[in-house]
Structures are given as C-alpha cells and as structure tokens.
C-alpha cells in the first residue's frame, strides 16, 4: 500500500525509521530480529557479537560494560518482502541526546518499544517528545509479553494519558506471562501463536474469519477465548480504530504486542511498517521543501563518525538522501564550501558490514568516507544552493578543561579533540592564553566517553578537570568590533574548531557588560550547524 502511487517504485518501497525506547526495553533484541527476518543475519545473537568485535577495536567496550550503555550508532539497510528498510540506530542513554536528536532528523518514522511491565519510561517520553516536534509517525511495540505484564487496557491508557496520543490496537494479546499464547491480529483477522520451543522461529499464523470462527476454539482454551472476546468487544467500544491518515500525521499510534526475544509479533510489526509506514517524505530546507521524487540528487549530513575503521583514520559522514537516484562516482556540490565533490566510495550499511554502494535512492542512508570536509548539517546537491533545516545544535552546559597526562602529547590531543568537535561529540575551545583546551558537553557522561575514546583511539591518557568557566558564547558581529572585543578581553577569548571566536566566562555580568560595551555584537549560546 502506498500513499503516493506516483512515486518511482524504488522510492515508494523505502522505509527509513529509528527505534526509540528506554534502556532495557528490548531495542537491541528487536533490531536483531529485524535483521534476522530481513535476511541480513543468519542467527540472532550476531548483532551483539559483531558489535562487540567492532567495539573491541574502535572501542567503547569498556565503557559499555562498565555502564551498561550503548554508545555507538549506525545505520542498517535490509529488504523485507517488497520493502527496503533503512534502520537508523539511536544511542540510548540520555547523555547522548545530541546524537539521538540529530538521528531523528534523518528518519520518516519511529518505532517506540516499551516494556509491557514498565509502560512509558522517562527516556521513552523524552524521545517521543522529539518525534512529536517533527510530527513523526510512531508505531508502538509492547515487548516482553512472555513475562508478567500490565493489563492491556492499562498499558494503552498509560500511553494515551502520558503521551497525549491516540492508541489503536493492531493486535491483542491472549494471556500473559506464562499463559501468553499469542495475539489476535485485529487488522487482518488472524491468530498468531507463539512458538516457545524455538526463539528464532516465526509464529504460526492462522487465518480466522471473525471472532465467531470455530477455528479459534481449536487453538485457544475456552477460558482465554471468552476473555479475548470480551476484551476485544470492549476495545472496539472504547478505543479508536486504526486510521492511517491520523497515524501519518502523528496523532495516532498503532500498537502491537509481542516478545522480541521469542521472535513473536516482530513480523507483524515489520508488515505494519511496510504497509502503513510512510515512504520517504519531503525534507525541509531554508529555500523550499525537497520532494523525494525530484530527479536531481540532494542529501544532508546528519552524523559524522570518526575511526569506524581503526586502520584508516577516516571519518564517515552519514548522509540522508532527500531526493533523486544516486549513482556511485557522481559529482555533487558541497554547498557549504561551494566545491564539487566526487563521491567515489560511498558505503551502504548492509546489516553489520560496510559495502560499497553502487546506487541509492531518496530515503537511503549512505556513508561517505572523507577527511573532515563533511560536517553535520552540510548539504550535497547537483548544483542548487540548498540549506536543509532542522538539525539542532546544542549549547554546551558543562565545561571542563582537559590535558594529556603526558605533556609531550599535547599536539596529538589537539588533533583528537578537533576530530571529536567535528563529529559533534563535544564543543572544543582553545583559549587564547595558556595551553590546554576547554571542552563543552550537554551531559556529564560525555566527558567519560570522550576520555575513554581519546585513550583508546589515540593512545593518549587524559584528565578532565573543573574549569574556571561555566558559559560559552559565540561572538557574532562586524569583524572589526569582534576583534576589538577579543583584544580587550583576552582572558575570556577562545576559538572553536572552525576558528570562530568564543567568549568564556562564569558570570552573567560579563556577558551583559560585553553586550553593552560593544554595540552590534551578539553573544550566542549556540552555533548554527548550517
């Protein structure tokens, strides 16, 4: 089914989405099952195994083990039925919100995974709010139904109340915990039974012609069947029916119940994304909306990752194609620099392996290896000067100074820090007086991640220490006034990785003074990413 039968078929079959959840709800397990059913891996368990193999090299493993969080993000493409799925992974921990928010600018829909026993948790709510800002359609997967869960109506109520969104059941659970049998597929009138013996096997699916079909009684014990009929009748009275338009507008979420670890309910969810999920959407730019079917290729960088392959000091820019049909070797305009760029070795992220992309379509995510030219927010086009909008930049809220424990490694540290600044992993300021650097982040845990990455990826042990500054402001204004200001306030002045001037202070009073003394100058808490 497509809302846009006019789209080229290759674009119409694409579904680009992310999974949002609170840690532990089952995102990794669900991802793994997606890849399994997408034919991208042969056996569940490989995502984590591969992930760890990669991380031991590149490497966040220690941190992930210490804290039980997942830090690395990636994109994965796979086929399912007639669809091409592009799953963009979002790092889960709240301290990595910058990355997560940016990721959500690259997708057309999100899957919200909740734990059937826990309901809507804090991180789910935060991520949901970001999706709502962009009116992203959301599909809900209520996981872990093989465990004691909450009452189905209670779960649905909680989502409706907590997130202020209509919830339409796409499936209905039969029993729960040890008595969980499977689900009644409301959208297709099917009975789906869970196979507890084999976790990687897909459930049995039995076509039913309505709730009075005698076939139901063959598979569902009388007591549970009576409860199912009662509940479905109540659901029909109390809950809205699925409405695709309302879903696409972000006002309604269909909910599936299942158990990711038992591979149950996963295919139905995937079918849901395929059948109802949005095809690639119009992407906003400052100039105009860019439609996927436009023949000219355009795209934007939403993430930059360094050191994905430790043998090469390359960076990979993750580009969401907004329009057109991309072919390897194409020359594109790098809008920010105004320079042409031959994209000769783009990467498609097929499951966990990187593979050269010969072609890609609007909606796809490709990786472009580069040496730092490509920054977050950059646009690539066939000549048009577009600026895609909506990629947020965050004001650093925490500042610390950093130095190498071995003073001989200062120069190397500078290189490492600049690279992380370009990745968008931190803001880095080089004070005009003295040596050392000030690093700004939005969540305290990011300091630990950085320290760990600098040591592992660059072999430089570092120490973060409290800084004398608490605020960073970009100095904007006429060049000569900015210079005058900088010369008169040397102890406050630093430069960021682009060489732009940043005012550091711990007093609001200083900021007020500068604004008063230098008319025409503004001190901005964020620097636009484009």
Shortest approach of ligand GDP to residue 260 CB, angstroms? 4
Tell which one of 125, 126, 147, 251 touches ligand GDP (CB under 6 A): 147
Per-residue x/- mask for ligand GDP, residues 309 to 338, rule CB under 6 A?
A: ------------------------------
Q: What is the CA radius of gyration of the chain?
A: 25
Per the rule left: phi > 0, alpha: psi between -120 and 50, beta: everything else, 64 is alpha
Tell which one of 124, 143, 152, 400 touches ligand GDP (CB under 6 A): 143
Per rule CB under 6 A, is residue 192 in the interface with ligand GDP?
Answer: no
Largest CA distance in the chain: 87
Q: How far apart are CA 252 and CA 274, in angstroms?
A: 17
Q: Is the peptide bond before 254 cis (omega within 30 degrees of 0)?
A: no
| Apex 217 CA angle, 215 and 223, nearest 5 | 160
Per CB under 6 A, which region of 1-9, 212-220, 253-261, 518-526 contacts ligand GDP? 253-261
Query: Is 270 labeled as ligand-binding?
Result: no
Per CB under 6 A, which region of 25-33, 188-196, 343-351, 410-418 contacts ligand GDP? 25-33
Per CB under 6 A, which region of 16-24, 33-41, 56-64, 292-300 contacts ligand GDP? 16-24
Per rule CB under 6 A, is residue 29 in the interface with ligand GDP?
Answer: yes
Query: Is 23 labeled as ligand-binding?
Result: yes
Which CB atom, from 142 or from 362, has the smaller least distance to ligand GDP?
Answer: 142
Cβ(24)–Cβ(124) under 8 Å?
no
φ/ψ of 7, rounded to 5, equals -70, 150
Give DSSP secondary structure letters for 514-528: HHHHSTT-EEESS--
Query: Is 21 labeled as ligand-binding?
Result: yes
Shortest approach of ligand GDP to residue 30 CB, angstroms? 7
Which CB atom, from 25 or from 530, has the smaller least distance to ligand GDP?
Answer: 25
Cβ(434)–Cβ(392) under 8 Å?
no
φ/ψ of 144, rounded to 5, equals 65, 35
Per rule CB under 6 A, is residue 23 in the interface with ligand GDP?
Answer: yes
Query: Is 90 labeled as ligand-binding?
Result: yes
Per rule CB under 6 A, is residue 28 in the interface with ligand GDP?
Answer: yes
Give the relative orientation of helices 222-238 and 152-163 as an angle to the nearest 10 degrees.
20
Per rule CB under 6 A, is residue 27 in the interface with ligand GDP?
Answer: yes
For residue 231, give the 3-state DSSP assignment: helix
Q: CB within 8 A of 75, min separation 6: which ones?
A: 86, 87, 88, 89, 318, 349, 365, 367
Per rule CB under 6 A, is residue 266 in the interface with ligand GDP?
Answer: no
Query: Is 92 labeled as ligand-binding?
Result: yes
Which CB atom, from 262 or from 400, has the smaller least distance to ligand GDP?
Answer: 262
Which CB atom, from 257 or from 349, has the smaller least distance to ligand GDP?
Answer: 257
Per rule CB under 6 A, is residue 149 in the interface with ligand GDP?
Answer: no
Beta bridge partners of 317: 304, 368
Q: How far apart are CA 376 and CA 529, in angstroms?
A: 7
HSE-up (13 A, CA, CB side) for residue 405: 9
Query: Is 1 labeled as ligand-binding?
Result: no
φ/ψ of 366, rounded to 5, equals -120, 155
Which CB atom, from 270 or from 501, has the smaller least distance to ligand GDP?
Answer: 270
Strands 252-257 and 138-143: parallel
Tell which one of 261, 332, 335, 425 touches ligand GDP (CB under 6 A): 261
Query: Is 143 labeled as ligand-binding?
Result: yes
Per CB under 6 A, which region of 39-47, 240-248, 256-264, 266-274 contacts ligand GDP? 256-264
Per rule CB under 6 A, is residue 171 in the interface with ligand GDP?
Answer: no
| Apex 387 CA angle, 383 and 389, nearest 5 | 150
Query: Is 383 labeled as ligand-binding?
Result: no
Which CB atom, from 24 or from 359, has the smaller least distance to ligand GDP?
Answer: 24
Per CB under 6 A, which region of 1-9, 200-208, 259-267, 455-463 contacts ligand GDP? 259-267
Number of residues forming the site for ligand GDP (CB under 6 A)? 16
Binding site per annotation, positions for GTP: 21-28, 89-93, 143-146
Binding positions for ligand GDP, rule: CB under 6 A: 21, 23-29, 143-144, 146-147, 259-262
């Amino acid at each position: 089914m497509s809302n846009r039968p006019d789209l080229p078929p290759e674009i119409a079959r694409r579904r680009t989405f992310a999974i949002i959840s609170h840690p532990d709800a089952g995102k990794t397990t669900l991802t793994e099952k997606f890849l399994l059913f997408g034919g991208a891996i042969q056996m569940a368990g490989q995502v984590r195994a591969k992930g760890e193999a990669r991380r031991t090299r590149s490497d966040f493993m220690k941190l992930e083990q210490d804290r039980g969080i997942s830090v690395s993000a990636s994109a994965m493409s796979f086929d399912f039925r007639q669809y091409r799925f592009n799953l963009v992974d979002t790092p889960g921990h709240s301290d990595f919100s910058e990355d997560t928010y940016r990721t959500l600018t690259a997708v057309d829909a999100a899957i919200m995974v909740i734990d059937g026993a826990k309901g809507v948790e804090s991180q789910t709510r935060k991520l949901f709010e970001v999706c709502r800002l962009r009116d992203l359609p959301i599909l809900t997967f209520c996981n872990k139904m093989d465990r004691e869960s909450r009452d189905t109506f209670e779960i649905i109520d909680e989502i409706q109340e907590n997130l202020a969104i209509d919830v339409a059941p796409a499936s209905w659970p039969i029993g729960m915990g040890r008595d969980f049998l499977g689900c009644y597929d409301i959208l297709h009138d099917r009975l789906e039974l869970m196979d507890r013996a084999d976790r990687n096997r897909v459930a049995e699916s039995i076509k039913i012609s309505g709730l009075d079909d005698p076939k139901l009684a063959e598979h569902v014990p009388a007591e549970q069947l009576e409860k199912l009929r009662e509940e479905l009748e109540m659901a029909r009275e109390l809950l809205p029916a699925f409405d695709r338009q309302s879903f696409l507008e972000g006002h309604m979420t269909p909910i599936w119940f299942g158990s990711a670890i038992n591979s149950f309910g996963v295919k139905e969810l995937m079918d849901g994304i395929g059948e109802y999920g949005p095809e690639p959407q119009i992407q906003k730019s400052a100039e105009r909306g860019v439609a996927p079917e436009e023949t000219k290729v355009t795209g934007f960088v939403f993430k930059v990752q360094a050191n994905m392959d430790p043998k090469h000091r390359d960076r990979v820019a993750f580009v969401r194609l907004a329009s057109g049909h991309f072919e390897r070797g194409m020359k594109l305009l790098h809008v920010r620099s105004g320079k042409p760029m031959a994209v000769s070795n783009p990467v498609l992220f097929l499951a966990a392996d990187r593979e050269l992309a010969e072609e890609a379509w609007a909606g796809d995510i490709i990786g472009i290896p580069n040496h730092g030219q490509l920054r977050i927010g950059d646009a690539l086009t066939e000549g048009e000067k577009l600026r895609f909008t909506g990629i947020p930049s965050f004001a650093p809220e925490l500042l610390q100074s950093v130095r190498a424990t071995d003073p001989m490694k200062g120069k190397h540290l500078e290189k490492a820090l600049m690279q992380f600044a370009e990745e968008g992993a931190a803001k880095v300021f080089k004070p005009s007086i003295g040596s050392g650097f000030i690093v700004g982040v939005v969540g305290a845990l990011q300091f630990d991640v950085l320290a760990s990455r600098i040591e592992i990826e660059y072999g430089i042990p570092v120490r973060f220490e409290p800084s004398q500054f608490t605020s960073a402001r970009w100095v904007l204004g006429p060049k000569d006034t900015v210079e005058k200001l900088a010369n008169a306030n040397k102890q406050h002045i630093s430069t960021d990785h682009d060489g732009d001037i940043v005012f550091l202070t711990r007093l609001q009073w200083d900021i007020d003074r500068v604004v008063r003394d230098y008319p025409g100058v503004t001190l901005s808490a964020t620097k636009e990413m484009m």
